Amino acid sequence: MDQTAANSKNIRLIIIVAALGYFVDIYDLILFSVIRVKSLKVLGVPDADLLDVGTMLINSQMFGMLLGGLLWGIIGDKRGRISVLFGSILLYSLANMANGFVTSVPAYAIVRFIAGIGLAGELGAGITLVTETMSKENRGYGTMIVAGVGLLGAVAAALVGEHYSWETSYIIGGVMGLLLLGLRVGLAESGMFKNVKNDGVSRGNIFMLFNDGPRFRKYLSCILIGIPLWFVVGVLVTFSPEFGKELNATDPISAGTGIMWCYIGIAIGDIVAGFMAQMLRSRKKVMLTFLLLTAVSIVVFLNAKGMTAQQFIWLALFLGFSSGYWATFVTIASEQFGTNLRATVTTTVPNFVRGSLVLATLSFTALKGSMGIINSALTVGFISIAIALIALYQLKETFGKDLDYVEIS
């Protein structure tokens, strides 16, 4: 086999493995939102406490992802992208299998924290490998496929969570992750990383993101542009049963159904956003379009008084599609920095965005007492979008940028 054919085969394998890995990652990440009510009721949590206990458990998982983002990002730049793909999936697969055997809320919180650490590494390592392996003109298609396929893991989580016990649903996720480890044998490491590794350049030095003003502002902006998406998923859709009651929905609203249709929308949105970026040769224009569309979808959802179950499905689909810029957002972050910091950035940025859900849920919870659940959500949602728009303005266009360079400390 000639070198060109070998490279093409390796690229295809990287995209397939990264996409399936992200599928399992999203399955495990979203499963709690699907089975929150079911699992907490079995553990004896009163109906009046479901929202607050659920928020605490989500925050436990997100704190784990914040810590894991730092851990796996540094490992990815110091030891290689492949090592993260193996280590992260092994940790969160074992944690999610353990989650099927918890019998108390404190144990639930501890296992979700550990699972969060493991879940933090998958996407960043996969996207870094794809962006460093594919050509600068076509890498957007690769990240689009990874995110589009991966986000369908939420659909699988919704279907499994609705039809199986919550314990079995967690165990299924863990088993899928362990099976995926076999596919990762034979993956070739990024050539850009190999070159940097042999050059003796400082790699994975997290402090380099903070010791230079322009570099820190760029890093912070990469994080802030992604916050609205997780507000939509983590607040509006996760707590959709509570919003449904407040809006006098005519039918019971299922968070599992909302999660499934929201992520179908996100997957479709990611594909559309990817194609738009390739056609327009601009990721910033696509981000702007989808952020504005997200604002519209938030307003529509929070004013849907008397919605039916069928209308809720369409609203969840619209919320998901409007915020379907995840692949574009992560690709922008990966393209902003040199090879010696790329895994650190690409892994920590999405996890800090996920971690921002802690602030969003705490703000939402703090304000709902005085403002009500609807106005509280509107306020937090529009603040997040305003921040994202300001951050997007600060970033440079990266479409077609050559990524074979390093950051100087």
Cα–Cα dist 303/307, whole Å = 9
- Tell me how many domains the chain contains: 1
Residue listed under structure tokens 């402090």: 207
Take residue 405 and report the two structure tokens written for it: 């360079």
pLDDT recorded at residue 300? 97
CATH of the domain at 88: 1.20.1250.20
313-335 pLDDT tens trace: 999 999 999 999 988 998 999 99
In angstroms, what CA-CA distances link 188 with 15, 41, 74, 81, 406?
12, 46, 19, 10, 21
Mean pLDDT of 124-140: 86
* 4 or 226, greater pLDDT: 226
For residue 181, tell me if it sits in a domain: yes
For residue 399, tell me if it sits in a domain: no
Question: What is the residue range of 323's domain?
Answer: 3-185+204-394
28-56 pLDDT tens trace: 877 887 888 889 999 999 988 888 888 88
Cα–Cα dist 101/166, whole Å = 10
346-389 pLDDT tens trace: 999 988 888 788 788 889 989 988 899 999 999 999 999 999 99
For residue 7, tell me if it sits in a domain: yes
For residue 363, tell me if it sits in a domain: yes
Mean pLDDT of 92-108: 92
Q: Which of 356, 343, 355 is nearest to 127 (CA)?
A: 343
pLDDT recorded at residue 3? 52
pTM value is 0.85
Contact 129, 83 (CB under 8 A): no
For residue 234, tell me if it sits in a domain: yes
For residue 48, tell me if it sits in a domain: yes
Cα–Cα dist 351/117, whole Å = 10
241-297 pLDDT tens trace: 999 999 999 998 988 788 889 988 998 998 899 999 999 999 999 999 999 999 999
Q: Which of 396, 265, 376 is nearest to 320 (CA)?
A: 265
For residue 402, tell me if it sits in a domain: no
183-227 pLDDT tens trace: 777 677 777 887 887 777 888 888 999 988 999 999 999 999 999
In percent, the amount of the chain with pLDDT more than 70 equals: 98
For residue 223, tell me if it sits in a domain: yes
Contact 251, 143 (CB under 8 A): no
Take residue 104 and report the two structure tokens written for it: 């108390």
